[in-house]
Amino acid sequence: MYETVPQLAEVALQQGGPALDAQGAAAIAVGLGAIATGYAQRGIGSAAVGAVAEDDDMFVPALIFTALPETLIIIAFVTIFIAGS
């Protein structure tokens, strides 16, 4: 595959322009935000399930705390509108 690299580079250079436009970059940003949310919820979620298992009254607080990291992805979502327009 290496022998095709020079041709590929030539094509890329001739066509010009960034490999990733604003929309694409925004998509990556949102994706990373989603991964971070998932990672945060992994820990909180397992602790929340543990707490609910011990005491049913903990269900509502547990749900709230599990949902808190969603703010990360919601804020990341804004990026699309800022970068896309």
Residues near another protein, by CB under 8 A: 43-44, 46-51, 53-55, 58
Q: Report, in Å, the least distance between residue 43 CB and another protein.
A: 5
C-alpha distance from residue 28 to each of 34, 37, 75 (Å): 10, 14, 14
The phi and psi torsions of 56 (rounded to 5 degrees) equal -60, -30
Nearer to another protein, 49 or 68 (CB): 49
H helices present in the chain, as ranges: 5-15, 22-54, 59-67, 70-84
The residue (of 24 and 42) whose beta carbon lies closer to another protein is 42
Q: Check if the beta carbon of residue 73 is closer than 8 Å to that of residue 32.
A: no
Q: At closest approach, how far in Å is the CB of 37 from another protein? A: 16
Q: Would you say 12 or 49 has its CB closer to another protein?
A: 49
Compute the least distance from the CB of residue 42 to another protein, in Å: 8
